């Protein structure tokens, strides 16, 4: 289960923007302090305390006004001076702060777009709901680059708070997918709350990147069939998966307990493809297994086969074989180096 993580994102304003913001805040504070102390000193005989002096200063420079406050002649003259200089100073400062904030948002958006434009072989997560958050956290563990796309600005801000690359937009829009780098992406993960939107995103993504891996979330069996017809590589129904997990927990409690206790990542399920110049080409599973005793060879898919099969100990590895393994991450990493593969990891 994804645990809520609240992080503090540091705002990196440029030196010029920082100085301008500091100057505006200093002007505002100077006007407020000057007005407060002035009214308090002048109207002290009329029982004006610091709070009333501050209150009258604020309603003066903001031109709110609450009628006659019983000012003395000297207080009226001071209020006139404060009106002339205070309103102008406050207006200038507030306007400048707004401009700085807008400029910062624009600069941050541009920096984000530049980072996304440099991504290659990344993943695109469409929808940052509960499933999208979990997917993002798991991808971060394996250092897989990805970008989050969501149409809600508050959700995009939440993704940015987690230090994820994120952009606001409708994922059914081809231009938004292009900005997210769909044509350079390794795959796209459609996990919005709408089945119709996931189907449409699948159609768009398959058209823009025919070779992309497309994974979808489906709420119903009929939606899953539509996603498969639209070109989805993998369709997952969270309700069906949850039902299977609960049934497994009842029918095979020890196995379910092991899988549940292994969420920390002690054992991982991995897949790699053997290259032509790999050290293990021609080696049998039994001989490789002696070097990696903690690794279990789950399945092997020959390059000319349609589906994987359970390997035998005397079966030799061939170039192009796709091998599914399970074991500790450290041992899998060593095996991957020998196979010279592109890593694709998933937690059990």
Are residue 221 and residue 194 in the same domain, yes or no?
A: yes
pLDDT in tens, 221-260: 899 999 999 999 999 988 888 887 788 778 877 766 666 6
Question: Would residue 4 count as lying in a domain?
Answer: no
Residue 129 φ then ψ, to 5°: -85, -155
pLDDT for 344: 42
**H/E run at residue 146:** strand 146-150
Domain residues for the domain of 171 are 119-242
Are residue 170 and residue 92 in the same domain, yes or no?
A: no
Sign of the dihedral through C-alpha 137, 139, 140, 145 = negative
Residue 210 φ then ψ, to 5°: -60, -25
Q: Could you tell me the CATH number of the domain that includes residue 168?
A: 3.40.50.720
Are residue 225 and residue 297 in the same domain, yes or no?
A: no
Q: What is the spatial distance between Cα 261 and Cα 257, in angstroms, rounded to a whole number?
A: 6
Q: Could you tell me the CATH number of the domain that includes residue 42?
A: 1.10.287.70
Domain closes at, from 56, 87, 114: 114
Are residue 130 and residue 93 in the same domain, yes or no?
A: no
pLDDT for 69: 65
Low-confidence spans in the chain with pLDDT less than 70: 1-17, 65-69, 103-107, 255-266, 340-348
Q: How many helices (H) and strands (E) does the chain have?
A: 12, 10
Q: What is the spatial distance between Cα 302 and Cα 305, in angstroms, rounded to a whole number?
A: 5
Q: Could you tell me the CATH number of the domain that includes residue 273?
A: 3.30.70.1450
pLDDT in tens, 68-105: 667 778 877 888 888 778 878 888 888 878 877 776 66
Q: Which residue is listed with tokens 């899988």?
A: 259
């Amino acid at each position: 289960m994804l645990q809520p993580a609240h992080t503090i994102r540091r705002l990196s304003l440029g030196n010029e923007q920082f100085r301008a913001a500091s100057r505006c805040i200093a002007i505002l504070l100077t006007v407020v302090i000057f007005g407060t102390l002035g009214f308090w000193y002048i109207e002290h005989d009329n029982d004006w305390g610091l709070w009333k002096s501050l209150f009258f200063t604020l309603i003066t420079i903001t031109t709110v006004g609450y009628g006659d406050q019983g000012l003395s002649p000297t207080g009226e003259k001071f209020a006139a001076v404060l009106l002339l200089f205070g309103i102008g100073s406050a207006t200038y400062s507030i306007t400048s702060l707004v401009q700085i904030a807008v400029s910062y948002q624009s600069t941050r958006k541009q920096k984000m777009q530049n980072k996304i434009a440099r991504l290659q072989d990344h993943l695109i997560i469409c929808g940052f709901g509960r499933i999208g958050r979990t997917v993002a956290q798991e991808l971060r563990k394996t250092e897989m680059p990805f970008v989050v796309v969501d149409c809600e600005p508050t959700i995009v801000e939440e993704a940015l708070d987690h230090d994820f690359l994120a952009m606001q937009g409708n994922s059914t829009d081809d231009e938004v997918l292009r900005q997210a780098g769909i044509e350079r992406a390794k795959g796209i993960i459609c996990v919005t709350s709408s089945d119709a939107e996931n189907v449409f995103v699948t159609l768009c993504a398959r058209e823009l990147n025919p070779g992309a891996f497309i994974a979808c979330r489906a709420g119903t069996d009929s939606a899953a069939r539509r996603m498969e017809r639209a070109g989805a590589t993998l369709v997952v129904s969270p309700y069906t998966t949850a039902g299977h997990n609960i049934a497994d927990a009842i029918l095979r409690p020890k196995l379910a307990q092991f899988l549940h206790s292994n969420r920390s990542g002690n054992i991982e399920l991995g897949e790699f493809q053997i290259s032509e110049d790999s050290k293990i080409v021609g080696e049998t599973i039994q001989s490789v297994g002696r070097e990696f005793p903690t690794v279990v060879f789950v399945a092997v898919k020959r390059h000319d086969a349609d589906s994987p099969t359970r390997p035998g100990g005397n079966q030799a590895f061939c170039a192009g074989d796709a091998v599914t393994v399970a074991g500790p991450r450290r041992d899998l990493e060593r095996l991957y180096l020998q196979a010279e593969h592109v890593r694709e990891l998933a937690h059990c």
